[in-house]
Amino acid sequence: MKIDLLNQIRETNPVVLNISNFVTVQDVANGINAIGASPIMSEEIAETDEMVGISNAVALNLGAFSKPQVDHILAMGKAANAQHKPLVIDPVAVGAISYRKKVALDLMNQFQVDVIRGNAGEIAALADVAWDAKGIDAGSGNQDVVEVAKAAAKKHHCVVILSGETDVITDGEHVARVFNGTPLFQLHVGSGDMLSSIVGAFCAVSDGDYFEAAQTACLVFASIGQLVADQLQEERPGTFSARLMDELHLASVADIEKIAQFD
């Protein structure tokens, strides 16, 4: 685990280009900014090549798309591949809505993603493993999440992050797990979206080792959430979300090293 990648983000301020969803776009932009990278969002297909050109990573969020946006997402993914920019996808609710799964698979057949970041319900759907996903949430299932994540990574030839109480990160062979976090993340819609785009920021400074970038992003994000939760007297989702932004900006590598739990 190379926690020092956090300092590299803060030193080099990489540009992370996002297709976001209208629900969480502000949190995603501020989360990227707070951790030390530079967000830019796009809604116009005509600017795709130029946008990808100025970016150091691309994050595609499938949280709320219409047909014209699917064309835009496709163009963005293809441009990221053509311009050799790291590409992350967040397949929101593909476990709950069959149309979304079809669109996500169709897109991923036409470009190669470097990292997929989703919860157990989403990753199980992309691995074709039985799971009872619930809307945008993970839902429930009794398969081993490590095996689910490995199957998805092998199927899609990329790094997979299956997030949850324990985050599982795998390239299909090697597996890392992050045990940090807080249930308060679940009370803030968009925690997952923020993580996916922050994975993009870590990929941007990773020299092409996206497995390491993905692990480190999970460790940093989950640990910072845990730091915040540890400071609260009771469950306060509003305070958590504001303090999360503060600590994404303020937390040091040493703060994270003190509480980091992973294997």
Q: Of these partners, Mg ion, ligand Cc1ncsc1CCO, ligand ATP, none, which one is at the site of residue 23 (CB under 5 to 8 Å by kind)?
A: ligand Cc1ncsc1CCO
Q: Would you count residue 95 as binding ligand Cc1ncsc1CCO (CB under 6 A)?
A: no
Q: Which letter, b or e, does each residue of 101-132 get, where b requires 16 or more Cβ atoms within 10 Å of its Cβ?
A: bebbbebbeebebbbbbbbbbbbbbbbebebe
What span, in angstroms and rounded, lies between the C-alpha atoms of 247 and 16?
Answer: 20
Q: How far is the CB of 257 from ligand ATP (least distance, A)?
A: 17
DSSP characters over 246-261? HHHHH--HHHHHHH--
CA 129 to chain centre: 21
- Degrees (nearest 5) of the Cα angle 247, 139, 246? 5
Amino acid at the residue 18: N
* 163 carries a ligand binding annotation: yes
CB closer to ligand Cc1ncsc1CCO out of 36 and 63: 63
Backbone angles phi, psi at 54, to 5 degrees: -90, 0
Beta-ladder partners of 119:
163
> What number of residues does the chain have?
263
Q: Of these partners, ligand Cc1ncsc1CCO, Mg ion, ligand ATP, none, which one is at the site of residue 191 (CB under 5 to 8 Å by kind)?
A: ligand ATP
Amino acid at the residue 196: S
Name the token pair of 139: 């839902």
Chain residue whose CB lies nearest ligand Cc1ncsc1CCO: 63
- Tell me the pairing of strands 57-61 and 15-19: parallel
What span, in angstroms and rounded, lies between the C-alpha atoms of 159 and 153?
Answer: 6
Q: Of these partners, Mg ion, ligand Cc1ncsc1CCO, ligand ATP, none, which one is at the site of residue 14 (CB under 5 to 8 Å by kind)?
A: none
* 190 carries a ligand binding annotation: yes
Number of amino acids touching ligand Cc1ncsc1CCO (CB under 6 A): 10
Query: If DSSP codes are grouped into helix, strand and coil, which group holds residue 208?
Result: coil
* 117 carries a ligand binding annotation: yes
Residues 84-123 binding Mg ion (CB under 5 A) are 92
Site string for Mg ion, 166-205 (x = CB under 5 A): --------------------------x-------------
Site string for ligand Cc1ncsc1CCO, 201-240 (x = CB under 6 A): ----------------------------------------
Q: Would you count residue 190 as binding ligand Cc1ncsc1CCO (CB under 6 A)?
A: yes
Q: Which stretch binds ligand Cc1ncsc1CCO (CB under 6 A): 111-119, 126-134, 187-195, 250-258?
A: 187-195
Binding-site residues for substrate sit at 41, 190
Binding-site residues for ATP sit at 117, 163
User: What is the contact surface with ligand Cc1ncsc1CCO in residues (CB under 6 A)?
Assistant: 21, 23-24, 63-64, 92, 136, 189-190, 193
